[in-house]
Structure 1
């Protein structure tokens, strides 16, 4: 593994309570139509999530991802970053790249929506289906 580790959504929440920052790497369309994680109640620092797409619509890579992350992430090198995508796959790539850039990075297993059920609906697991705070359908 080329990043600090994988976390369940609840373990990710615990990391946020300890001061980590969530980095949502989904697309703008996903944020607008599916919803976003809310982290303001996770800790006293009120570390707002960072919204930084790993890819753009159509799977086009974001060539400025690390540059934007470096601009937006806190200067404190001890701050851990927790990466979240739809299902926990893009966030692996993002956590790996961030680790290579010097950040302590974790991936959220199951992602925001989780895996699809037998009908193709994403109701099985993931951040929102595990009852963690969300703002559904807007950013």
Structure 2
């Protein structure tokens, strides 16, 4: 027994070395995990910016298309008001439908290209 009446318990050097090595290993594993988490967060942040930029492009293009389509509809309505007979109404209607179908197909293609480009940009690994 020691001076204050208790037995001294000493940790053997081998056990102490093994525990220190385990703690060092755990600390390194934690630091690696933390570094990976920070890299992942940065990558997600970067992707968010890319996705927002793509969404902005799509929104801008959609508004532009909406303006064109409304303008075309108003022009069509104005032409109908000035039509002289049913034959002219039918011709104007046919021209309007054909031009709108062509415009909508082109617009859908453009939006598809923008979406595809945005998806590719979002999928690229951050450098």
TM range (shorter): under 0.3
The structure that has the greater radius of gyration is 2
More helix by share: 2
Choose between structure 1 and 2 for higher RCO, CA contacts under 8 A separated by at least 6 residues.
Answer: 2
Q: TM-score, normalised by structure 2?
A: 0.21
More strand by share: 1
Q: TM-score, normalised by structure 1?
A: 0.20
